[in-house]
Amino acid sequence: MTPTLTTSAYVLHNLGLAAGFGGSLFGRIALNPSARLISDKQDRARIVNAAWNGYNIINAVGLGATALTWFIGRSRISGRAISANARKLVLVKDFLMGATLVSGVINLIGGGFLAKRALQEGIPMESGSKASDDAPDDVKSTTKLVNRLGVFSLATMAGLIGVSTWLDNTAQVSSKWKFIARALP
């Protein structure tokens, strides 16, 4: 019998990672550079910030689901019962999850600030990821911060996907894990 609750949590965990990583990758690779096609720098900022602000809800819910399912599962299983290698992977995943959440929250705040400025006052942007030289200093510095943390978040989410897969494969070959998994809801 498949543990329904555990399987549902696992699906939510992976969907949250997919939404966070996929949306962020799309924005960085496709949306931000394509904004240059919008000739008016003020409109460019409004459109890009409105798009990112709209996706931030999906990103926050997705990463929130990933974190919630990880920390609930993590409170029950530390990896020690599986193997020493699994325990190390759990600790790496803890670090990556924390780094992803912290950078994500900072990006949400910074992105919200940029969206508010773009929609209310208008700010000039060169692209979706670069403020114009004539933009206010706080907009330029926030844009730089959001971009750097965006790259960092992509890296930590990619790490989470990789470590999750590695941890999953480690657990699947563990006879100890198979015994523990029978007791999961």
What confidence score (pLDDT) does residue 5 get? Answer: 64
b or e along 151-164 (b: 16 or more beta carbons within 10 Å of the residue's beta carbon)?
ebbbebbebbbebb
Residue 18, burial from CB neighbour count under 10 angstroms (0-12, 13-18, 19+): middle
**What is the per-residue pLDDT for 1?**
42
CA distance 174 to 72: 21
Residue 4 confidence (pLDDT): 65
Rg for the chain (alpha carbons), in Å? 20
pLDDT at 79 (0 to 100): 62
Q: Report the SS3 class of residue 130.
A: strand
pLDDT score at 162: 94
Residue ranges in the chain whose pLDDT is less than 50: 1, 179, 183
Q: At what angle do helices 137-172 and 4-26 cross, to 10 degrees?
A: 140
What is the predicted pLDDT for the residue at 104? 92
In the prediction, which pLDDT does 178 show? 52
Residue 125's closest CA among 33, 24, 27?
A: 33
Report the alpha-carbon distance of residue 76 to residue 43 in Å, rounded. Answer: 50
What gap in Å lies between CA 132 and CA 8, rounded to an integer? 45
